[in-house]
Amino acid sequence: MALWKEQSPPPANPVPTASTATAAAREPEKVAPMPMPAEAARRAERPVAKETVIAADLAIEGKIEGAGHVRLAGRFKGDVHVDGNLTIEPGAHLTGQVYARTVVIAGELHGNINGAARVELLESGVLAGDVKAGTLTVAAGSKMRGNAEFGWDEKGMKAVAASA
């Protein structure tokens, strides 16, 4: 499919007349719309999740619930339950239970992570608690104290629990 209109070659000596010049000025040039790539179409269909940032100079106690992403750079005490991602920045400190799709730890987390699809423990990350996730990535230099269960689907976890 061509993105341009094929036109016949112009006459040897075109002579514009007043009527052809005004008609051309009134009609906008028609251009075929470009097709959208499949990846861009998928992104356009999904609503963009908002990200909430808790700044480095804040200390908050309570509960976080929502559908967006959370980036923690300060201190938070309480449970975090989000349908999006949780990122704990270097120097940040979280004490509480975590329920999120993806959890990236570069700071400190004192609490359990339950049912995450992916957990990343970065080089500067510290985790004191249990992890239940689909995928667990642990970088050299990180610290963890607790139990880890990963790679099991819900059916597999139920079968293991029933046999024990």
Structure confidence by residue, pLDDT tens digits, 136-147: 999 999 999 999
- Average confidence score pLDDT of the chain: 80
Domain limits, the chain: 51-163
Under DSSP, is residue 111 helix (H, G, I), strand (E, B) or coil? coil
* Single-letter amino acid, residue 30: K
* Single-letter amino acid, residue 114: N
Sign of CA dihedral 60, 61, 67, 69: positive
How deeply is 98 buried, as exposed, middle or buried, from its count of CB atoms within 10 A (0-12, 13-18, 19+)? buried
Structure confidence by residue, pLDDT tens digits, 73-115: 999 999 999 999 999 999 999 999 999 999 999 999 999 999 8
Confidence band (pLDDT; 50, 70, 90) for 162?
very low
pTM across the whole model? 0.65
Question: Both tokens of residue 104?
Answer: 């990236």
